[in-house]
Amino acid sequence: MLSNLKKIILDRPGLDKNIKRIIILESIDSTNLYAKSLQNPLDSTIVIASNQIKGRGRKNREWKSFGHKNVAISIILNYPKDNEHIGLLSILSANSIVQSLKTYNIHGKVKWPNDVLVNSKKISGVLSEAVFKKNKSKSIVIGVGINVNCNKHDFHIDNFQYRLEPTSVFIESGDIVSREDLIASFLEFFYFWISAFKSKNYKSCLLYTSDAADEEDSVDLGGRRI
């Protein structure tokens, strides 16, 4: 279990004011599915699972998780009034992952719009989904998966075929790291970028984005290209 995680998160400057609710689960099929099932959730509700069994990425592709070795988190935000740039929410989430990894001397790049790569290998992914009630957009659920303490054997234990070769914090750094600290760091950076988004500082949100992109992955949630 993620011990003392709530305290570690809320001890970070500003997060106690930004985050309205934290839900920590031992095991769940998907944090995004759980978040989307909540009735009338508060803006800035955070759902975190110590173990995610059926994680998924874009186009329902499977996202591999390994028991208590990865980060699985979903953030619920009110649907933004400025939905023209809504696709940037995935990118600013990826920015936050890149900055968190830097604290472990791991240098990542955002592959437009929702992957984080280290040395051309995938270390993290983002899945943003709109939630509708009575045909009206109500919220955005931003799901984040980060490969943390898994090793090369974990990735290939069942001969799973990856679109991009995977890697993890452990593989890149050689160190087992605290998932609690990584989550708190990610959330701290995430709310920095949310502030930039709300201030309409959109260009800054592309800071860590590489030119590498699949054509199929360059469409935002509303079907518009940015």
User: Residue 130: left if φ>0, alpha if ψ -120 to 50, beta else—which one?
Assistant: beta
Give the per-residue pLDDT at 218: 37
Give the per-residue pLDDT at 220: 35
Task: Give CA–CA dist 104/100, Å, rounded.
Answer: 8
Average pLDDT per consecutive 10 residues, the chain (226 residues; last block may be shorter):
90 94 94 93 95 71 79 93 82 93 95 88 93 84 96 87 91 96 96 87 72 41 31
Amino acid at 77: L
Give the per-residue pLDDT at 133: 80
Give the per-residue pLDDT at 191: 95
- Whether 168 and 151 have beta carbons less than 8 Å apart is answered as yes
Task: Give CA–CA dist 175/5, Å, rounded.
Answer: 20
Select from 107, 101, 61, 31 the least CA-distant residue to 216: 61
Give the predicted TM-score (pTM) of the model.
0.87
- Whether 205 and 92 have beta carbons less than 8 Å apart is answered as yes
Q: Please, what's the b/e burial string for 12-25 (b: 16 or more CB within 10 A of its CB; e: otherwise)? A: beebeebbeebbbb
Torsion from C-alpha of 62, 226, 78, 51, nearest 10 degrees: 20
